[in-house]
Structure 1
Amino acid sequence: MHPRPSPIAAALYTLRDLDVDLIVLHGPKGCCFRTARLLEQDGVRVVTTGMSEKDFVFGAEEKLTKTLKKAYKMFSPKLIGVVGTCASMIIGENLKRAVENAKVPAKVLIVESHGGFGEGDNTEGAIAVLEVAAKERLISEDEARRQIKMLRMATAIEKTRGMAQGKYIPPLEGDNKKKVAKIVINAFKNGKKVAMVLNAKKETAYLFADVLRLPYSKLNGNPVVIANLDENIGLPRIRNHAKNIKKELKDNGVNINYITGGLDEYPVTGKKAMEILEKEEIDFAVVSGIPHALPIEKYNNIEMVAVTDGPRLVEPLKNIGYKYVVLELDAHAKTLGKRRIVNSEFGNIIRSEIS
């Protein structure tokens, strides 16, 4: 019932992960405005054909052709993504013909997606991109199938445990960060066996990894560190994120005890992380990123803290058993274009309390 990310936005992010140089949105100027501006921070040029009311009636293929030619002249891209929007797709614009007429000397991925694509789930836009990428041989068929499977599982998690459950979920602020920071510190001081779990996706891991590198040694603490940072899984950009974070954690003296999978495997790495927590007989755990992917319900012997970026995830996380939920707003905005771990608000508070 409340607004959710659209397939168009997911298509834009997935094209970014394929290292496209330029994205052309065939639609009105305001379509996916915030996502487009954010992606500019990550080195991707995003332009729009600026469809108007007249174009909704008479079509705007010529506008797309002209925009492609102009954008190519400006940026000289090698790989371009052309993405449909609600306006252009509903009136049946022929994106392929417009691209052929432009005759730009670059590889062009044509993604016919819109806000209600499929069931309207945002992951449908990402799947559309992966299917086109496999057809154009930018990725293998096997890799496309693996990623599509992960995206379907991610959708299932959101619909059953997250903020796409089909009911209205109010946005909440979460628990007081300073209070929870003291609880985390006391867990170490009281001799509890503590685990730090990273179960994040894409570049947001640069923010959520912050709590893994805090100076717990000052508390005589040595947490079990679990992270989905396999640098051999996923698209090149995603693998590089994992590689960067692992190196920085190592440079900070952090030993990752368990690697559960890659950054695009968060729907399944949550279950693996939970199995490790049980095996290690953990008393207290902090889970950062996508904590609702961990099936924590039957492990009520573990006191658990969730660190998330979704105000509408606070209530669902409490419902599945997290005792405390800490909110880190605007994770995407804070991490786009970054190649190093970003200080989180929660991490900064723990640092101040430890020192």
Structure 2
Amino acid sequence: MHPRPSPIAASLYTLRDMNVDVIVMHGPNGCCFRTGRLLEGDGVRVLTTAMAENDFILGAGDKLEETLIKAYEMFEPTLMGVVGTCASMIIGEDLKEAIANADLPCTVIPVESHGGSGEGDNTVGAIMVLDAAVEAGVIPRSEADRQIEMLEKATEIEKTRGMAQGRYIKPNFGDSKEAVAKEIVNALHDGKNVAFVLNAKKETSYLFADIFNFDYAQINPQNKPIIVANLDENIGLERIRGHAANIKKELPMEIDFITGGLDEYPITADKAYEFLKDKDLDMIVVFGVPHAFPIEKMDVESVAVTDGPRLVEPLRELGYTHVVAELDAHSKTLGTDEIVDSDFGMMIRSAIEWME
């Protein structure tokens, strides 16, 4: 009942993950405006055909051809994407025909997404990109199938445990970050067994990894927390593997168990649970996509850190003792290749200083 990310935005982000140089959106100039502007910060040039009222009636194939040619003249890309919108797809614009007529000396991936694609699930837009990328010879079928499986599982998690459950969820900014950070630091100081679980999605990991970006020896050198993370640098597209490698280089603490890749967050939470379930924990801190973790199976004090204010109440219902929300995870991490400060991470470091 409340607004959700659209398939169009998911298409744009997935093309970005494939390292496209330019994306042309075939639609009005205001469609997915914020996403397009954000992706400019990640090095992707996002253009629009700026469809107007007459185009909705008469069609705008010529506009798309002209924009494609102009885009190539301006940026000389190796890889481009063309993304449909509600306006162009509802009237049946033929993206492939326009691409063929433009006859550019580069690879172009056509994506016929719109706001109502499938059942409106944002992951449908990402799946469309993967299928189109296989057809264009950009990625192998096996990699597309693996990612599609992850996306379908992600949709299931959102519909059963997240904010796509079909009811209105009021935004909530969670518990006091200061109070929860002090509880974590005090638990480590007192020798309690604490686990940190990074179960993050792609580039947002640069923000969530900051939560365990501290020196535990400053708190209690005899009590290293257990670190579990989905930072396998051998899984996923080159861009996603690079994120994992960058973060692992920066972290001051050794990772005890790697659950999988940064695009496998729908299944890596279960792997984290299997690793931790017999560890006699006093506290567990799960961040990134914490609603994928089966916290209801653990009888332990728990902290969830999410980037969605509408996820705070569902996380409490799942059984988390404390829930805090980070804001603007996507906008803070676009264009970076290193860990960025998170509000909660900074609060943990502040709590360490107060303790000293």
With the length of structure 2 as denominator, give the TM-score of the two structures. Answer: 0.97
In structure 1, what is the Cα distance between the partners aligned to 2:97 and 2:146?
A: 31
In structure 2, what is the Cα distance between the partners aligned to 1:225 and 1:294?
A: 15
CA contact (8 A) 2:108 2:136 kept: no
| 1:314-337 Cα distance to aligned partner (Å, 9 max, x none) | 000000011111111000000000
- How far apart are residue 11 of structure 1 and its match? 0.4
Counterpart for residue 282 of structure 1? 281
- How far apart are residue 60 of structure 1 and its match? 0.5
**What secondary structure is seen at the aligned counterpart in 2 of 1:166?**
coil
**What secondary structure is seen at the aligned counterpart in 2 of 1:146?**
helix
Counterpart for residue 315 of structure 1? 313
In structure 1, what is the Cα distance between the partners aligned to 2:28 and 2:100?
A: 22
Counterpart for residue 295 of structure 1? 294
The unaligned stretches of length 5 or more in structure 2 are none
- How far apart are residue 140 of structure 1 and its match? 1.1
| 1:34-73 Cα distance to aligned partner (Å, 9 max, x none) | 0000000000000000001111111101000111111111
1:270 counterpart letter in structure 2: A
1:348 counterpart letter in structure 2: M
Whether 1:354 and 2:352 are equivalent positions in the alignment is yes
Whether 1:231 and 2:233 are equivalent positions in the alignment is yes
CA contact (8 A) 1:215 1:351 kept: no
**What secondary structure is seen at the aligned counterpart in 1 of 2:297?**
coil
2:245 counterpart letter in structure 1: K
CA contact (8 A) 1:84 1:112 kept: yes
Whether 1:152 and 2:152 are equivalent positions in the alignment is yes
**What secondary structure is seen at the aligned counterpart in 1 of 2:146?**
helix
| 1:66-100 Cα distance to aligned partner (Å, 9 max, x none) | 11111111111110000000000000001111111
2:312 counterpart letter in structure 1: V
| 1:218-269 Cα distance to aligned partner (Å, 9 max, x none) | 11131000000000000110000001111111xx2x1000000000100000
In structure 1, what is the Cα distance between the partners aligned to 2:249 and 2:349?
A: 21
- How far apart are residue 169 of structure 1 and its match? 0.5
- How far apart are residue 192 of structure 1 and its match? 1.1
Counterpart for residue 328 of structure 1? 326
**What secondary structure is seen at the aligned counterpart in 1 of 2:350?**
helix
With the length of structure 1 as denominator, give the TM-score of the two structures. Answer: 0.98
Structure 1 residue ranges, 4+ long, deviating more than 4 angstroms after superposition: none
Counterpart for residue 183 of structure 2? 183
In structure 2, what is the Cα distance between the partners aligned to 1:279 and 1:213?
A: 25
Identical residues among aligned pairs (%): 65
1:325 counterpart letter in structure 2: V
- How far apart are residue 23 of structure 1 and its match? 0.1
**What secondary structure is seen at the aligned counterpart in 2 of 1:81?**
strand
Counterpart for residue 195 of structure 2? 195
- Choose which of 221, 224, 229 in structure 2 pairs with 1:222: 224
- How far apart are residue 206 of structure 1 and its match? 0.2
The unaligned stretches of length 5 or more in structure 1 are none
In structure 1, what is the Cα distance between the partners aligned to 2:44 and 2:311?
A: 29
| Corresponding residue pairs, total | 351
CA contact (8 A) 1:77 1:106 kept: yes
1:283 counterpart letter in structure 2: D
CA contact (8 A) 1:29 1:48 kept: yes
**What secondary structure is seen at the aligned counterpart in 2 of 1:297?**
helix
